Structure 1
């Protein structure tokens, strides 16, 4: 294999970005100059979205106006709700449903047919609508598939509070709302990951923002990208049902050729900084509930895999037990990832439009050469 072949585009630079920076050796993640630790501790999801779209953290007045504008966009058109009901009745997979819903949103967006797909103000408006409506759509889909009535969004709640309210038909307590808000901050952007790059490739053709986000959702649906946190929780539940020691379970699983999800990362060579923060949240939720087993299982697995395989956990590993202890259904973990990451997807698409060049990598041909066509009656 030639040295110039980079499978999976590993290590290939394709763009310059002001949005996020990752130092994989130091375990560092930065959004527009701010460390993820500081943002997770001191900034709300709305503040982070504003930061990604506008380049700086908002003032108090700017945040109030921005949050109000987001909140007024939460309602879904009747046609979108009808589509969600059909998807729920068909028992569609949640990520596939979300992919269809995002595409459907364009039919009801006043800026969808904007003549200039690169227009900054129009794209910020579209980004705001998509980001505001995804939680409403996801909560509606989950309730309808379970035979419950749709809960309408409220404008007086934060992004995280409103989603949990619509999901469960009751206002969340402060601990749950703060935990989800922090998780959304942690997932908002992460460089040129597969789904973000997919959105950028779509945008590079001068396709529209809804198409770019739809591409990103479809990419995130893959088990090697967004599905890992759900797989981690399935593993933890299997361990619990087996009555095995977590280390013994993992040993047996590896001997059977099974993969242990939630470990390793294409960028980080050390523990994902987001995993550290979510691990603390998982521990705190366990202590509050008086049930530490999910956190204890996770720690035991982390220590064993670290010692035996030299691998550290990624963000998906501790988000699994964190979401589970919040009462969130396992199969909507990845859609919640999308609910957060849409802020980063749209920010990167807007950045792509600013200095666009169509993505066009090349492949080395390794097939047959100089063949001649045999007449069809002689083949």
Structure 2
């Protein structure tokens, strides 16, 4: 009887899908007729101007006589070139994420004393509320860490004595707590996933005094708590490169849209996490590694350009890989000649590849980076300038560090939460703050209501 019910439900759902398809077709010509900015993008590919920000800037081209002219990419945090920022703390042998977080939240580089006080403040807020892990993570584990992270961040509202207080001091305090706690939530969510879904032992590690964000994360996700100084510094570099990317990227804009409504910070950050989870956004680094799994199996000689080129053509023709027709890790909405994050990460990745004995795999990534623009022109007639983006090398770096694929996108969230918080506070406190509300053109024709018995 139960099988009959299930079969009946399945047939009804199939009919509902047909009902939807029959009544929900939108003529693609409408988008051009009504000058719709699909993806909030202008016809030339530039983004529709939706606001102003002091937090971050992404530069990959310049306009000349109305045309986009490709240029080397630059990423700027609060007016400081990220490459200069990284060179500054790397040359002094320091970790940089906490310094970067301070810069993004408050708008200026910290003094030595301010940095020490800020690091101590983060350390004081790392511990999750009593029984939070037991009640909010272990009792409702998820096979996807990003899903669990979004739910856990939303749940923090219930543990906040004054969650809807919109004063600047409270918003900054909530932001600092989120920056401190998100890495711990990710580590515990991953431990729960391994235990309940992968049948492994459950290891929950408390954050350690004296360790920064990168060190504590490696300490927390490894059973034996062991990590090298090189691993911690490279992870710290990844966190800095992922901390912010302007107000127009999908997750930051999502955060600003929710913040403009006056909702609480937990709702806004949880929504941003949901956005980042998507394979067209933060989930792309995971898709890159899945794609290279296909390439490594499908290409017999990784050093043969013709063989690699032929396989990339199959990817574009939807004849191989996940049949999406995409080469993940290549191309960006703004960067043209280069993505500065990819350039920096690639440099450090090569050194790590030599250390780990994975130089052949690293060189395969370089080959894909080099050949993809040519294959795009040949197979799809694509003429625009295409470069590798940060996702092409971040997943490889994580793999070489022994970080499981399930943590690639959550690590992106660990880094980006400070950028989201900075955008949220800027949106709330900007002059003349208004709720963000774009328009959609309604194209359904008017029709009369038909009584139930006459349908």
Q: Same fold (TM over 0.5)?
A: yes
Alignment partner of 2:410 out of 326, 331, 335: 335
What is residue 249 of structure 1 aligned with on the other side?
311
Give distance in 2, aligned partners of 1:365 and 1:274: 40
Q: Say whether the 8 Å CA contact 2:313–2:375 is kept in structure 1.
A: no
Give distance in 2, aligned partners of 1:375 and 1:132: 58
Change (3 A) 1:368 1:244: farther
The DSSP-based 3-state class of the residue aligned with 1:21 is strand
Alignment partner of 1:365 out of 414, 428, 442: 442
Alignment partner of 2:359 out of 292, 312, 333: 292
Structure (1 or 2) with the larger CA radius of gyration: 2
Change (3 A) 1:111 1:40: farther
What is residue 379 of structure 2 aligned with on the other side?
none
Give distance in 2, aligned partners of 1:130 and 1:171: 25
The residue correspondences of 1:257-268 to structure 2 (distance < 5 A) are 258-268=325-335
Q: Say whether the 8 Å CA contact 1:95–1:221 is kept in structure 2.
A: yes
Give distance in 2, aligned partners of 1:316 and 1:245: 24
Please state how far the C-alpha of 1:312 moved relative to its aligned partner. Answer: 1.2
What is residue 60 of structure 1 aligned with on the other side?
112
What is residue 20 of structure 2 aligned with on the other side?
none
Please state how far the C-alpha of 1:227 moved relative to its aligned partner. Answer: 0.7
Please state how far the C-alpha of 1:308 moved relative to its aligned partner. Answer: 2.4
Alignment partner of 1:109 out of 154, 160, 168: 160
Give distance in 2, aligned partners of 1:3 and 1:32: 37
Q: Say whether the 8 Å CA contact 1:236–1:294 is kept in structure 2.
A: no
**TM-score normalised by structure 1 residue count:** 0.94
Q: Render the CA deviation track for 1:198-218: whole Å, top value 9, x for unaligned.
A: 111111110011111011001
Give distance in 2, aligned partners of 1:46 and 1:2: 49
Q: Say whether the 8 Å CA contact 2:312–2:375 is kept in structure 1.
A: no
Please state how far the C-alpha of 1:171 moved relative to its aligned partner. Answer: 4.1
Aligned residues: CA RMSD: 1.6
Please state how far the C-alpha of 1:2 moved relative to its aligned partner. Answer: 4.1
Give distance in 2, aligned partners of 1:67 and 1:201: 30
The DSSP-based 3-state class of the residue aligned with 1:24 is strand
What is residue 219 of structure 2 aligned with on the other side?
165
Change (3 A) 1:289 1:366: same
The DSSP-based 3-state class of the residue aligned with 1:87 is coil
Q: Say whether the 8 Å CA contact 2:126–2:181 is kept in structure 1.
A: yes
Give distance in 2, aligned partners of 1:141 and 1:373: 50
User: Which range moved further: 133-142 or 105-114?
Assistant: 105-114
Please state how far the C-alpha of 1:113 moved relative to its aligned partner. Answer: 4.1
Q: Say whether the 8 Å CA contact 1:68–1:155 is kept in structure 2.
A: no
The DSSP-based 3-state class of the residue aligned with 1:373 is coil
Q: Say whether the 8 Å CA contact 1:188–1:340 is kept in structure 2.
A: yes
Whether 2:264 is the aligned partner of 1:208: answer yes
Give unmatched runs, 5+ long, in structure 2.
1-31, 42-46, 62-70, 90-95, 195-200, 303-307, 377-384
Please state how far the C-alpha of 1:242 moved relative to its aligned partner. Answer: 3.8
Q: Say whether the 8 Å CA contact 2:154–2:266 is kept in structure 1.
A: yes
What is residue 131 of structure 1 aligned with on the other side?
179
Please state how far the C-alpha of 1:265 moved relative to its aligned partner. Answer: 1.3
**TM-score normalised by structure 2 residue count:** 0.79
Whether 2:55 is the aligned partner of 1:19: answer yes
Whether 2:412 is the aligned partner of 1:350: answer no
Please state how far the C-alpha of 1:126 moved relative to its aligned partner. Answer: 0.5
Whether 2:44 is the aligned partner of 1:7: answer no
